[in-house]
Amino acid sequence: MTYTTVSYENFTGDPFSSLSVDDDTKGALEVLKWAYEAYDSITYACSFGAEGIVLIDLISQVKKDAKIVFLDTGIHFQETYDLIEKVKRNYPSLDIEMKKPSLTLEEQAEEHGSALWKRNPDQCCFIRKIKPLEDALDGVGAWVSGLRREQSLSRSNTDFVNKDERFKSIKVCPLIYWTWEDVWSYIRLNKLDYNELHDEGYPSIGCIPCTFKAESGGRDGRWKGMEKTECGLHTRGQS
């Protein structure tokens, strides 16, 4: 089966919409092989959560020197930074960039007041995550994300290949059919290193001030007590 390369401008739909997903990776490897063949420049924006560890392992089977970007807000758990160092050792050929915002935490506090995440988390995410990703994706043909359909209602219609209005790019999501159990089966089967906080009640891990233990095992520990449920990387036009 051959697939055509799609760009933001000529996107007419997911070329993998009728892909048979009964293989071991539920279509993920086939989609990744296509993506790394189709795009000269493609970046995986990885948060180093459980899905991220799976995707890094799958991507390394397709493109050993793949570009990975971690949005280093400067306010992540030490366990996350420790995991990134392990991944660098386990996959030495990968090109892992720690992408920092233009403002340090101190500069942000001076310009916008301290603990901006409490008063205006959307603005904080824009400064520390969205703008840095926008810069990282400048000139890039496509980017990879670990979104899964079962994660939330807003992600339930995600396709393998998506027109990304937010970043004017193509977003490739190889894990859309994976369940949380699939993710952990793969991690255990392949004895992958993962963030130790997962064993302490944190299924979804982001910045320290906005990550809490979760009751359900889903994303309900993120931005707990706030109206916010997404950082804005996967929604349209937020600023």
Q: CA 179, 162, 52, 82 torsion: positive or negative?
A: negative
Report the nearest approach of ligand SF4 to the CB of residue 60 (Å).
Answer: 27
46 is a catalytic site residue: no
Scanning 28-36, 119-127, 145-153, 159-167 for contacts with ligand SF4 by CB under 6 A, the matching segment is 119-127
CB atoms within 10 A of CB 144: 28
Given 26, 63, 67, 129, the residue binding ligand SF4 (CB under 6 A):
129
Regarding beta strands 161-164 and 169-172, do their DSSP bridges make them parallel or antiparallel, or are they unpaired? antiparallel
Q: What distance in Å separates the CA atoms of residue 185 and residue 80, rounded to the nearest whole number?
A: 21
Query: DSSP per residue over 112-164, as a string?
Result: H-S-HHHH-HHHHHIIIIIHHHHHHTTT-SEEE----GGG-GGGTT--SEEEE
46 has binding-site annotation: no
204 binds ligand SF4 per the rule CB under 6 A: no
CB atoms within 10 A of CB 134: 15
Scanning 33-41, 49-57, 123-131, 191-199 for contacts with ligand SF4 by CB under 6 A, the matching segment is 123-131
Q: CA 188, 32, 21, 154 torsion: positive or negative?
A: positive
73 binds ligand SF4 per the rule CB under 6 A: yes
Report the nearest approach of ligand SF4 to the CB of residue 158 (Å).
Answer: 21
Nearer to ligand SF4, 128 or 163 (CB): 128
**Binding annotation for [4Fe-4S] cluster:** 124-125, 207, 210
Instruction: Please give the residue ranges that form the binding site for ligand SF4 (CB under 6 A).
Output: 73, 75, 117, 121, 124-125, 128-129, 206-207, 209-210, 231
Show which residues are catalytic.
231
